[in-house]
Chain A
């Protein structure tokens, strides 16, 4: 299955992926209209450390602890993609408590949202990857790292 991977050596820390993510999931046609003057709730975030930075979004784990821990069965696996049914989520944050990557965060209404690889929105493939100016984020099939 294709997943999103990052190359921390190439990440510029420009945060464009966060904007592209929020725009792709806004349902709006115009980026400025969708994002200008509004707080950003992207499903990917840049982690910044001592001289390193890289983007983190859902890893779509093969054995996802978030799905098993969800008290509302709102988190589900469909063909390997972990999705959230927002109509079921009660915002308890159990998934935030268990995700080892810190990849889940609530939206402005306290309901969970997460990377669904842009398969549910008009983009059809991860907008963060398409918009990355330095190919630091890729969408490809890989086996486990050593």
Chain B
């Protein structure tokens, strides 16, 4: 009997289900969900800490979503192995699930580097799931001192959400700036200043050498006393299942532009994958929600016998802390940079070979998507009034023909 199996129950899985159903209304779908929740809005977990989101409104799809789409969800279960020859998935409870087509959407896991004395810390948390956030929220008390290890997006969003719940927060990172994988020094210092203004303290270029119960001994010789420890050093794509059965993996599961892995009838989507970054042409893990959604849908359509391609994935980040927003997309490919930089705003446009390859906006972020579209569509800059576009993102900079195309009919 035909059956689709999806490993994982996040955003990529939800779009995979919808992709399958846009082609094939009948074949049963089985979803293997490690977490005991229907698909939820994972990036909202930091907002949940400070009650800007609550679990009742964090559902990513309406009630009845799985039933209406003919899905069986196996909650609290994980896959132990994939057998590509037999086309089966073996679950942790020994059950074997046959598949016609499989989608691996297993996401990523927190990377917790080993550290001396970590076992002696009682109140330690990771911050990737709703259950992680709920546990942290229960433990947080007004008199608590919190130490967050890692000044990446997960660590800093955790700091923002946790700030009103605790006495103080210290964030440490081995890198000498915050968000070191996304921002350069200039942008990072603005974000850091914003967080500092709201009472978050930083120990940058420093790392914990050992823990002793409620004290962290830093490499610099400083000591940090804490009640709550959040480990947010980074995440790693969950590639093990595909790697173990012979599929190609690097930092993520390698997928082509149809979301197919190197193994027949096995697809992958979301944070566990490594695909092509269209802004640089290079292979990388792009663990962002829009990518998970677009990849998931593409995988689902192809699993069901359709023909979908997703070939313009680019990095896109909307980062905001305490009301200061930074929007960025694409990459600095080492070409020319146009910059505006004053006290309140920063704008950088990265251009190379007649294309916009990336940008960074802090402060004034209005209509940033017009810039993003130039990167995704690889629009030749000599086909429009780029001098005008540099000043402000506006569609009036496009040629008359392009405006007609964009505004003259349904899109």
Label chain A's interface by main secondary structure: loop
Q: Does B263 contact A (CB under 8 A)?
A: no
Q: Does A110 contact B (CB under 8 A)?
A: yes
Contact partners of A62 in chain B: CB under 8 A: 410-411
| Contact of A100 (CB < 8 Å), options: B323, B372, B404 | B372
| Contact of B411 (CB < 8 Å), options: A6, A47, A110, A144 | A144
- Assuming the A-B contacts A47-B394, A47-B396, are A87 and B57 also in contact, with contact meaning beta carbons closer than 8 angstroms in the complex? yes
Q: How far apart are A4's CB and chain B's nearest CB, in angstroms? A: 10
Question: In the assembly, what is the distance between CA of A6 and CA of B61, in Å?
Answer: 34
Residues 1-54 of B at the A interface (beta carbon under 8 Å): 15, 41, 43-44, 47, 52-53
User: Contact between B372 and A98 (Cβ–Cβ < 8 Å)?
Assistant: yes
Q: Does A108 contact B (CB under 8 A)?
A: no
User: Contact between A52 and B393 (Cβ–Cβ < 8 Å)?
Assistant: no
Contact partners of B338 in chain A: CB under 8 A: none
Q: Does A119 contact B (CB under 8 A)?
A: no
Contact partners of B293 in chain A: CB under 8 A: 68-69
Q: Does A125 contact B (CB under 8 A)?
A: no
User: Contact between B370 and A97 (Cβ–Cβ < 8 Å)?
Assistant: no
Segment touching A, from B213-221, B270-278, B360-368: B360-368
- Greatest chain B CB density within 10 A among A47, A59, A65, A71 is at A71
What 0/1 readout, one digit per residue, does chain A (100-128) give for beta carbons within 8 Å of chain B?
Answer: 11101100001000000000000000000
Contact partners of B325 in chain A: CB under 8 A: 93
B289 to A, closest residue via Cβ = A71
Question: In the assembly, what is the distance between CA of A98 and CA of B374, in Å?
Answer: 11
Contact partners of B47 in chain A: CB under 8 A: 90
User: Contact between B290 and A52 (Cβ–Cβ < 8 Å)?
Assistant: no
Q: Does A79 contact B (CB under 8 A)?
A: no
User: Contact between A52 and B407 (Cβ–Cβ < 8 Å)?
Assistant: no
Q: How far apart are A1's CB and chain B's nearest CB, in angstroms? A: 8
Compute the total of residue contacts between A and B using a CB distance below 8 Å.
138
User: Contact between A71 and B41 (Cβ–Cβ < 8 Å)?
Assistant: yes
Q: Does B318 contact A (CB under 8 A)?
A: yes
Residues 339-373 of B at the A interface (beta carbon under 8 Å): 365-370, 372-373
Range of interface residues on B (Cβ < 8 Å): 35 or more
Question: In the assembly, what is the distance between CA of A100 and CA of B370, in Å?
Answer: 5
Q: How far apart are B315's CB and chain A's nearest CB, in angstroms? A: 11
Contact partners of B368 in chain A: CB under 8 A: 93, 96-97, 102
- Greatest chain A CB density within 10 A among B294, B388, B410 is at B410
Q: Does A30 contact B (CB under 8 A)?
A: no
Q: Does A94 contact B (CB under 8 A)?
A: yes
Question: In the assembly, what is the distance between CA of A49 and CA of B215, in Å?
Answer: 60
Q: How far apart are A79's CB and chain B's nearest CB, in angstroms? A: 15
User: Contact between A56 and B395 (Cβ–Cβ < 8 Å)?
Assistant: yes
User: Contact between A73 and B61 (Cβ–Cβ < 8 Å)?
Assistant: yes
Residues 318-341 of B at the A interface (beta carbon under 8 Å): 318, 320, 323, 325, 327, 329
- Assuming the A-B contacts A49-B388, A73-B41, A90-B52, are A102 and B367 also in contact, with contact meaning beta carbons closer than 8 angstroms in the complex? yes
User: Contact between B323 and A110 (Cβ–Cβ < 8 Å)?
Assistant: yes
Question: In the assembly, what is the distance between CA of A102 and CA of B361, in Å?
Answer: 15
User: Contact between A94 and B410 (Cβ–Cβ < 8 Å)?
Assistant: no
User: Contact between A61 and B411 (Cβ–Cβ < 8 Å)?
Assistant: yes
Contact partners of A68 in chain B: CB under 8 A: 15, 290, 293-294, 297
Question: In the assembly, what is the distance between CA of A49 and CA of B329, in Å?
Answer: 25
Range of interface residues on A (Cβ < 8 Å): 35 or more
Question: In the assembly, what is the distance between CA of A90 and CA of B291, in Å?
Answer: 20
User: Contact between A52 and B327 (Cβ–Cβ < 8 Å)?
Assistant: no
Q: Does A91 contact B (CB under 8 A)?
A: yes
What 0/1 readout, one digit per residue, does chain B (387-411) give for beta carbons within 8 Å of chain A?
Answer: 0100001111100000111111111
Question: In the assembly, what is the distance between CA of A133 and CA of B261, in Å?
Answer: 57
Q: Does A72 contact B (CB under 8 A)?
A: yes
Q: How far apart are B273's CB and chain A's nearest CB, in angstroms? A: 16
- Greatest chain A CB density within 10 A among B15, B41, B367, B377 is at B367
Q: How far apart are A88's CB and chain B's nearest CB, in angstroms? A: 5
A141 to B, closest residue via Cβ = B410
- Greatest chain A CB density within 10 A among B41, B317, B377, B404 is at B41
Question: In the assembly, what is the distance between CA of A59 and CA of B370, in Å?
Answer: 14
Q: Does B316 contact A (CB under 8 A)?
A: yes
Q: Does B59 contact A (CB under 8 A)?
A: yes
Question: In the assembly, what is the distance between CA of A90 and CA of B316, in Å?
Answer: 18
User: Contact between B60 and A98 (Cβ–Cβ < 8 Å)?
Assistant: no
User: Contact between B405 and A49 (Cβ–Cβ < 8 Å)?
Assistant: no
- Assuming the A-B contacts A49-B394, A49-B397, A88-B57, are A96 and B365 also in contact, with contact meaning beta carbons closer than 8 angstroms in the complex? yes
Known: A49-B385, A96-B368, A102-B368. 7 other contacts (CB 8 A): A47-B395, A72-B43, A88-B53, A92-B43, A95-B369, A96-B369, A98-B290
A-B contact pairs, 17 of them (CB 8 A): A49-B385, A59-B411, A69-B289, A71-B41, A71-B289, A72-B58, A93-B365, A94-B316, A96-B367, A101-B406, A102-B368, A102-B370, A102-B393, A102-B395, A143-B410, A144-B411, A146-B405
B residues apposed to A, CB below 8 Å: 15, 41, 43-44, 47, 52-53, 57-61, 289-290, 293-294, 297, 316-318, 320, 323, 325, 327, 329, 365-370, 372-373, 377, 385, 388, 393-397, 403-411
